[in-house]
Structure 1
Amino acid sequence: MNIVVVGDGKVGYTLTASLSKEGHDVTVIDNRPDTLRNTTNELDVICIEGNGVSYAVQSEAGVQKADLLIAATSADEINMLACMVAKKLGAKHTIARVRDPQYQQQMFFLKEELGLSVVVNPEQSAASEISRLMRFVPAIKAEPFAKGRIDLVEFKVKENSPLDGVQLSDFYRQFKVKILVCAARRGEEVFIPKGNFIIRSGDKLTILAAPAEISSFFRTVGTFQRKVRDVMVVGGGRIAYYLARQLIETGIHVKIIEKDEKRCNQLFDLLPKATILHGDGTDHELLSEEGLDKTDALIALTGIDEENIILSMYANSLNVDKVVTKVNNARLAEMLAPMGIESVISPKEIAANRIISYVRAMTNATGSNVEMLYRLADNKVEALEFRVRESSRCIGVPLKDMPIKDDVLVGAIIRGGACIIPGGDDVIKAHDSVIVVTTMNGLHELDNILKEKE
């Protein structure tokens, strides 16, 4: 596909790298020559210097022949205007990054009037991911599929866990829960485990099941912790705002520490049920006074990665039950697990995943389309939700007889609202939703899981 990306910042660059890796022809527009020079040196893309809302600049970038324009600058208004110009020029689809809560309240109107295909809010999506982690405290990552009927959860097997030494083929017999272990990470190795795989402490497992089954599983293996009731958030940006709204709706008390007095006043008006404190969240005396050691969860959301990491290490030293860390620098994020910082979120990666999911749905054939894409295990594993169309070659064939590629697992089938953890005799039917977990990259349709005919 021909794709134009307006904005070469954190989100824009992450998108460009992902789309280029998937084989798309990408053109980047930005008005910062140094930034574009770095992108040109690192990626196989075309870069054009100029204003992304300019008719002339977009024409030079070939927007009139583009399948998709993605506006990912830091300014909502520029993104919406760039998409409007692109639609006038003839771009088939447009995606805008829109973050301001005021625009979120009128998003349906804006999408209709501006002809936007998708609106992406990285901060709101990051808040939703953190909120889900509050449901499953032992989880490193948690992602819903099939409209919340099934969850994909990654967690670490602790020392002396009853899971240590268990062979997967004996899993159900021992724990009596309907879950599927669909990916395992041991050290640097990530793979789809077979029945003879033996779980060891230190492994990071990804499980797929209905939410109630996952809660039951954590109770059974002794990792279930009490419900989160109090959350301390350091950093009062947009993620903190969206997160506080979501948590307060579920009955969780939220305390936000923000060092900018003006922003504190804004949050005080926007979030009357939250506790807003003006202060430096990196001051350990302030954190102690506010009861960090007694809170259920610490969410580090300042604008500086290093501050978030130090805050998280301090919270871990106080044995806070749940610690979530916002980190934008991918290189830093890779170093955190050995330091005990497991739950790391990156708004730009979350936004990229959603857009990649949409792009794959656009590029697929007539078989089945990607409804959702989620990456885990440092992006080495993909979980995809496909909607099965009547033309798919996977329909009606028992899974045990289906020539499925290595390193691909059919994790769940959603049919008529029911969640099926499939066995060898189960079949896929038209209009099912199918969850596939794989270490392969670039699955665009369900039929891609099948081996090529000889």
Structure 2
Amino acid sequence: MRIIVVGAGEVGSNIAVSLSADHDVIVVDVEPETVEELTYSQDVLAVEGDGTSLDLLREVGVDSADLFIASTDDDETNLVACSTAKTLNDVFTIARIKNAKYLETWNRSERAFGVDFMVSVNLLTATDVVRIIGLPAALDVDPFSGGLVQMVEFEVTKDSEIAGGTIAESDRFEGLTFAALVHEGKVTIPRGETVIRPGDKIIVIGRPTSTREFSRVVAPLEAVEGIGDVVIAGGSEIGYHTARLLEERGLNPRLVERSPERARQLAELLPRTTVLEHDATDVEFLVAEHVNEADTVVAATDSDEKNLLISLLSKNIGVGRTVAIVNEGTYTELFEAVGIDVAISPREVTAEEIIRFSEEGSIENLSLIEGRQAEVLEVQVDEGSVLTGRAIREAASELPSQVVIGAITRDGTFIVPRGETVIEAGDHVVLFVATDVLSEVMGLV
């Protein structure tokens, strides 16, 4: 597949590097230093120039491209780039945007702006935040098959009931598959005798009710009773959308915003949210407003440094759980290393959403695992799939060993995958696949 990426910032670069191993990728950026750095640090062809220029797009071969991704930090540039590309070729276009008003316009009209798929960074990130705080023991939560299936990543603490035990001893939850274990940063597929150690991350796939039940043995019971009291620090677009989505769930979050003008605006937009005009780094204010009693604090300002400080202060005064937005992707591990419970990178969330369009075959949804060491993906199988019409035990013999069948849905019904289960054409199958065998697997399923 020939892919052109406009914008070599963190998102564009990550997408380009991730796709370059299997595809012909060209990156366009206006900054010569960025182009030079990408050219020498990664095996990617980078071109200096304006991605909205008709002449430049002709030069880089948009007329023969299969996928066009506009991922600069400017919404309008991305929309114009997609529109320009469409004048040269009916290439599939993806635009990354921050302002949700463009998404609303796009949703109301067919292919507005010349965009085939639009990724709203702020809304996508807020949705991720709400999913995670909805299952408080989780590090990551991704829905599949219209919400019938969840992929959840948990960290095992020394207090976890499963710490020190084996996978076989923990495998007692109906509708749950143990897909992978992450030990010291390395992803492996566990066997029954595999020991689960404190500090490991465990990835499960199953019914939402089963993942919640499992969470109660991973984390202390008081941490998984529900969303509870949520305080959002920062009235950014991500903070606003997080509060709005919580309101839609019938909750009454609190939101702290320093700017008087922005605080007034948010108070008008969020009728069920208590908006507090103050600096969220003021410890005396946090205690006076009983923020220390909150179940979760979401640090959602536009500053990574402030989000880190707010999160650390919240942990220090006794907040149960902290979730921080991290715009600089390289800081994510640092945030979690110093005690922040969950660090969410909007850029990583966006890249994950975009990358699925580059995969061969019909992928409905996917989640990237630990720097793309593996993927959890949903496919709809057809008559030509090696899985169709055969028991899983038999079909699995033709798949690489680095594949786990995590869940099956058929006509809106969840099916627990067992050795004797027969997969039918039209079924949606959620798979865990190591990245190095992904191309082979997609050619089979």
When normalised by structure 2's length, the TM-score is 0.92
Match of 1:185 among 182, 185, 188: 182
- Mapped to 2, the partners of 1:76 and 1:134 lie a distance apart of 29
Write the letter of the residue equivalent to 1:18.
Answer: S
What is the RMSD of the two structures over their aligned residues, measured on CA atoms? 2.2
| Equivalent residue runs for 1:267-282 within 5 Å | 267-282=266-281
2:340 equivalent to 1:347: no
Write the letter of the residue equivalent to 2:386.
Answer: R
2:409 equivalent to 1:414: yes
Match of 2:384 among 383, 388, 391: 391
2:132 equivalent to 1:139: no
| Equivalent residue runs for 1:44-63 within 5 Å | 44-63=43-62
State the Cα deviation string for residues 213-237 of structure 1 (Å, max 9, x = none): 2222334666343322321112221
Confirm or deny: 8 A CA contact 1:370 1:445 kept in the other structure: no
2:294 equivalent to 1:284: no
Give the drift of 1:122: 1.6
Choose 175-184 or 63-72, whichever is displaced more. Answer: 175-184
| Equivalent residue runs for 1:29-428 within 5 Å | 29-172=28-171, 175-219=172-216, 223-224=220-221, 225-360=224-359, 363-364=360-361, 369-401=362-394, 402-403=396-397, 404-428=399-423
- Mapped to 1, the partners of 2:134 and 2:263 lie a distance apart of 27
> Is the alpha carbon distance of 1:165 and 1:9 closer, same or farther for their aligned partners in structure 2, counting shifts above 3 Å?
closer
Match of 2:434 among 430, 436, 439: 439
Give the drift of 1:322: 2.3
Give the drift of 1:147: 0.5
Alignment size in residue pairs: 441
> Is the alpha carbon distance of 1:8 and 1:278 closer, same or farther for their aligned partners in structure 2, counting shifts above 3 Å?
farther
For residue 408 of structure 2, give the secondary structure of its aligned residue in structure 1.
Answer: strand
Confirm or deny: 8 A CA contact 2:99 2:122 kept in the other structure: no
Write the letter of the residue equivalent to 1:389.
Answer: D
- Mapped to 2, the partners of 1:190 and 1:113 lie a distance apart of 41
- Mapped to 2, the partners of 1:57 and 1:262 lie a distance apart of 42
Confirm or deny: 8 A CA contact 1:177 1:216 kept in the other structure: no
Give the drift of 1:444: 4.8
- Mapped to 2, the partners of 1:326 and 1:109 lie a distance apart of 29
- Mapped to 2, the partners of 1:422 and 1:41 lie a distance apart of 46
Write the letter of the residue equivalent to 2:370.
Answer: A
- Mapped to 2, the partners of 1:72 and 1:83 lie a distance apart of 10
State the Cα deviation string for residues 289-341 of structure 1 (Å, max 9, x = none): 22221112111112222322232222223332221111233332223433232
- Mapped to 1, the partners of 2:173 and 2:77 lie a distance apart of 54
% same residue: 33
Can you give the 5+ residue segments of structure 1 that lack an aligned partner in the other structure? none
> Is the alpha carbon distance of 1:144 and 1:306 closer, same or farther for their aligned partners in structure 2, counting shifts above 3 Å?
same
- Mapped to 2, the partners of 1:210 and 1:42 lie a distance apart of 42
Confirm or deny: 8 A CA contact 1:259 1:280 kept in the other structure: yes
